[in-house]
C-alpha cells in the first residue's frame, strides 16, 4: 500500500510538472571557454604566461498570455573562479513595447556600438597599473547588472529606442544619491546592398550637489557588405578629475569554410591627466572546429603612457592568446 501511494504521488507530481511546463517554453544554453595567454610587459608582475577559464549557463522561461502579452524570465550563472548570478530579469512585452525589470544591462549598453563588437575575444591588454584610462570605445557607464527598470519602444521601421533607470537606493541625504539613467537608439537601413546600423547611447550618474555628474556617450556605425563587416565607434566619459575620449575601428572578413579574420584598433586619451594615453591594435582569427566548437587566436600590441605626474607607470608590450570556445 505504501509503495502504491508513493508511486501515485510521483505520477501526480510528474503530471503536475508536465501540465505547468505546457504553459511555458523553456530554453537552456551554456558556453564555456578556456584561454592560454602569453604576455610581454614592462611590468614584471604582468609578464609571462597564464591560463583563464569562464563559463556561463543561461535559462529562459517564456509564456504567452491569452491577450497576446509575452512574459519571460531570464537568468544567467557565470563562473570565472567563483559561481555567481550574472543576470536575472523579468520582461513583459506586447504591442506597447517591452518592459524589463531586474538585473540587466542599461539601455546604453543595449543600443551602443563598440569598435570591438566584431571581435570574438577582447584581450583586455594594457592598463596594468591604472584604472583612469579607457581601453575600448564601448559606453562605460550603466552597463552593470544591478537592478534596473527599462522600457523599449516598439520598433518603428528600422528604428529602435530604449531607456533605463537604476535607483541607487535610500541614502541619508538625497544629495548623495547616485542614480543612473541611460538612453540608447539604433537605426538599421539598407543602402545599395550595404546593411548599415547606426547606434547612439548615453548615460548619466548623479553625484552629490556641487559635484560634476558622471556622464558617458557613445556613437557607432556598422556596415556589412557580403562577407565584409566594418565598425567605427567613439565614446566619451566625464567625471570628477576624468575627461576621457576614445575612438576605434574593427574589420572582419568571412573567408568561408569556418574561418573569419579580423583586425581592430582602439585609442584613448584622458585630458584631465596630462600625458595619459592608451592604444591597442590587433589581429584575430576564428576557426570553427565543429558545430559549437571554435578556436580563436588573438595577437595584440599595446602602448600605455601614464600621466606626466606618474610617468614611471607607463607600459607597452604584446599579448598572444589562444581561446577554445564551446557553445551548447
- Distance (Å, whole) CA 101 – CA 150: 7
As to burial, measured by CB atoms within 10 angstroms (0-12 exposed, 13-18 middle, 19+ buried), residue 142 is buried
Structural domains in the chain plus CATH codes: 91-317 (2.40.160.10)
- Distance (Å, whole) CA 59 – CA 85: 11
Question: In a 3-state reduction of DSSP, which class is residue 294?
Answer: strand
Please report the pLDDT score of residue 121 as a whole number.
86
CA distance readout (Å), 318 to 39, 251, 277: 6, 20, 16
Q: What is the pTM of this model?
A: 0.83
CB of 70 within 8 A of CB of 118?
no
- Distance (Å, whole) CA 51 – CA 39: 11
Is the four-CA dihedral 271, 207, 145, 139 of positive or negative sign?
A: negative
Please report the pLDDT score of residue 311 as a whole number.
67
Please report the pLDDT score of residue 113 as a whole number.
95
Please report the pLDDT score of residue 272 as a whole number.
85
Spatial neighbors of 237 by CB under 8 A, at least 6 apart, are: 134, 140, 141, 214, 215, 216, 243, 244, 245
Grid cell of 158 as nine digits: 528600422
Low-confidence ranges of the chain (pLDDT < 50): 1-22, 129
For the chain, where are the E strands, in sequence order? 25-41, 48-64, 70-79, 83-94, 97-103, 147-152, 159-166, 180-191, 194-205, 214-225, 228-239, 242-256, 259-270, 276-290, 293-305, 315-327
Phi and psi for 307 in degrees, rounded to 5?
-55, 150
Grid cell of 20 as nine digits: 505547468
* Residue whose grid cell is 614592462: 42
Spatial neighbors of 18 by CB under 8 A, at least 6 apart, are: none
Amino acid at each position: 500500500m505504501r509503495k502504491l501511494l508513493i508511486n501515485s504521488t510521483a505520477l501526480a507530481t510528474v503530471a503536475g510538472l508536465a501540465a505547468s511546463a505546457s504553459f511555458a517554453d523553456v530554453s537552456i544554453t551554456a558556453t564555456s571557454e578556456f584561454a592560454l595567454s602569453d604576455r610581454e610587459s614592462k611590468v614584471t608582475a604582468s609578464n609571462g604566461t597564464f591560463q583563464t577559464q569562464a563559463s556561463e549557463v543561461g535559462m529562459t522561461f517564456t509564456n504567452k498570455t491569452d491577450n497576446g502579452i509575452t512574459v519571460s524570465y531570464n537568468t544567467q550563472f557565470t563562473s570565472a573562479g567563483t559561481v555567481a548570478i550574472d543576470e536575472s530579469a523579468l520582461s513583459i512585452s506586447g504591442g506597447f513595447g517591452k518592459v524589463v525589470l531586474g538585473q540587466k544591462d542599461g539601455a546604453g549598453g543595449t543600443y551602443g556600438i563598440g569598435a570591438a563588437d566584431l571581435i570574438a575575444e577582447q584581450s583586455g591588454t594594457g592598463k596594468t597599473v591604472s584604472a583612469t584610462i579607457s581601453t575600448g570605445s564601448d559606453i562605460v557607464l550603466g552597463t552593470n547588472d544591478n537592478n534596473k527598470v527599462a522600457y523599449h519602444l516598439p520598433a518603428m521601421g528600422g528604428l529602435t529606442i530604449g531607456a533605463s533607470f537604476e535607483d541607487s537606493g535610500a541614502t541619508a541625504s538625497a544629495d548623495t544619491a547616485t542614480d543612473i539613467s541611460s538612453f540608447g537608439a539604433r537605426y538599421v537601413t539598407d543602402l545599395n546592398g550595404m546593411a548599415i546600423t547606426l547606434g547612439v547611447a548615453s548615460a548619466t550618474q548623479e553625484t552629490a550637489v556641487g559635484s560634476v555628474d558622471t556622464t558617458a556617450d557613445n556613437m557607432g556605425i556598422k556596415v556589412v557588405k557580403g562577407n565584409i563587416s566594418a565598425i567605427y565607434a567613439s565614446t566619451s566619459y566625464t567625471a570628477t578629475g576624468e575627461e576621457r575620449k576614445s575612438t576605434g575601428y574593427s574589420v572582419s572578413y568571412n573567408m568561408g569554410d569556418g574561418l573569419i579574420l579580423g583586425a581592430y584598433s582602439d585609442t584613448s586619451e584622458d585630458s584631465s591627466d596630462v600625458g595619459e594615453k592608451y592604444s591597442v591594435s590587433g589581429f584575430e582569427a576564428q576557426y570553427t572546429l565543429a558545430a559549437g566548437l571554435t578556436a580563436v587566436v588573438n595577437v595584440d600590441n599595446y602602448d600605455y603612457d601614464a600621466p606626466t605626474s606618474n610617468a614611471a607607470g607607463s607600459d607597452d608590450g604584446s599579448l598572444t592568446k589562444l581561446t577554445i570556445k564551446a557553445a551548447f
